[in-house]
Amino acid sequence: MLGESSWVWQRSNVSIGGTRYAHGVTVNGNSSVTIQLNRQCSRYEAMVGIDDMTLGLGSVRFSVFNGAGARLWRSPVMNGDDPAVPVDVGITGQESIRLVVEHAGPGGFAALADWADSRISCQ
């Protein structure tokens, strides 16, 4: 949802912690992206982390919220050069989800955060 989302860069060959992923979206280190689910969906999966373009800088935390604002999943604090963390969230019955990245320490403003290999399983 463009009016309710931060800047998003869709990319191929996203790199987190030295591992490449076929596709993903990159966002600023403090962002919110709303995805309207236009059918019945059951799962959201991704690999998240700080993009290797940041040269190991920054600290962020990733979260997935439902449309009502309840947090469904939260990552640990992620620092530059950390390996990606898997996201696997049940979203059955949701009309939308919100992907949030928050600063989590010094330098968080400089971080580019990735939601790599994102998949939404729908019927």
Tens-digit pLDDT profile for residues 25-69: 989 888 899 999 999 999 999 999 999 998 888 899 999 999 999
| Fold for the domain defined by 2-122 | Jelly Rolls (2.60.120)
Alpha carbon distances (Å) from 44 to 35, 37, 54, 58: 11, 11, 26, 25
Q: What percent of the chain stands above pLDDT 90?
A: 71
Distance linking the first and last C-alpha atoms of the chain? 21
Tens-digit pLDDT profile for residues 85-102: 999 999 999 999 999 999
